[in-house]
Amino acid sequence: MGSPSGPPFDPDDPDRERRERDTEPIPRIGPDDGPGYGAGPGLSDGPSLSDDVGYGDGPGYAGQGRSGRGWIRDPEASYQPPQISEDELAGLRADATGSTPRRVLPLEDEPSSLVARYLFPTERYRGEWKRHWIHLTNPLLIGVAATFVLGYLSGFLAGQDVGALTTIAVLLWFAVMGWVAWKVADWWYDRFILTNKRVMVVNGIVTRKVAMMPLVRVTDMKYEQTPTGRALNYGTFVLESAGQEQALREIKNLPNPNELYLRVVEEMYEPQAVEARLGKEADEAKADDGA
C-alpha cells in the first residue's frame, strides 16, 4: 500500500485550512436538496407557472404554454355562439293550420325596386313598411271638403250667370285634387326600412330624402300609441342615439307597432335567432316545393 502524496500533516500549518477548502469537491445539486433550488413552490410546476387559464393554453389565450414566447389574447377563442332551441323557434312560427299567432311579422324575401338601390351587397334585408293609411287623413278630408264646398259654389255661381267665377271655382277644385294626389303619391313612396345593420326612412318624389341610423348606435327606442292608434293599430317610433338629435329620430304613423318593435329589438339583440328562423323557413319552403 502506497503512502498518500503531498506534504505530511502538520497541525500548526497556517495554510492547511485554505488547501483543504480549495481541494474540496463541489457537490451536485439534486431535486431534493432543499427548498431553495429544488422542486418546491419557488420554482415548481405548481399554480404559479402552470398551464391553467391564467397563463396556459386555456380558452382565453393562444400559445404553447410555458414553451411559448408570449401570450396573445384570442378574441374569438372565448366566444360561444348562442344555442337557439327548437322550442324558441317554434314560438316565432305559425303552425300548418295558421291557428298559432306569430309574435313577429313574416319576413319579406326581396326588397322592392324603390328600396333595393339603397342597400349594399353584404346587407341583409329584413323588411319595408309604408306608413299607416291614417297618415292620409288630413289630405283626404281636405279633398272631400273641397269637393262639397267648391261643387256647391260652382252650382250657385252657374245660376247667377257669372261664368268667370264658376271657372275659377272649378280650377281651384282641380288644384286641391292635384295636391291630394301628390300627398297620396308621397305616402306611397315613403318607406321605413329595416336591415341587419341599420334602420332607414326613404321619402320624396322629386326631392328624395334618405335618412338612416346604425343599429349599433341606437341607445334607446320606444313607440307611442294614442287611443286611436291602439284602435287602428298604428304608432309613433322614437329612436335615441347617444342623446343627440338625429335625422331619424321620430317616425310617425307606422303600422303594427308592437310587431315592428319586436322585429327591431330582435335584430339588435338576437340576430342569431333571426338567421336561424330564416334558415328554417328556407328549408321548409324547399321541402314544400319538393313535395
Q: What's the pTM?
A: 0.58
Using alpha carbons, list the distances in angstroms from residue 55 to 6, 44, 45, 60.
Answer: 58, 15, 12, 9
Q: HSE on the CB side for 28, CA within 13 Å?
A: 2
Give residue 200's identity as a one-letter amino acid code: M
- Whole-number mean pLDDT of the chain? 74
CA distance 108 to 105: 9
Which has the closest alpha carbon to 191: 275, 269, 109, 248?
Answer: 248
Please list the helix, strand and coil fractions of the chain in percent, rounded to the nearest 5, in that order. Answer: 40, 15, 45
For residue range 211-227, list pLDDT tens digits in order.
998 898 888 888 999 99
Q: In this structure, what C-alpha cell is assigned to residue 53?
A: 387559464
In CATH terms, the fold of domain 107-130+193-290 is: PH-domain like (2.30.29)
State the burial class of residue 251 (Cβ atoms within 10 Å of its Cβ: 0-12, 13-18, 19+): buried
77, 264 contact by CB (below 8 A): no
For residue range 102-129, list pLDDT tens digits in order.
444 555 668 888 899 999 888 889 889 9
Cell 396556459 locates to 56
For residue range 39-89, list pLDDT tens digits in order.
444 444 444 444 444 444 444 444 444 444 444 555 545 556 566 666 665
Ranges of each domain in the chain: 107-130+193-290, 132-188
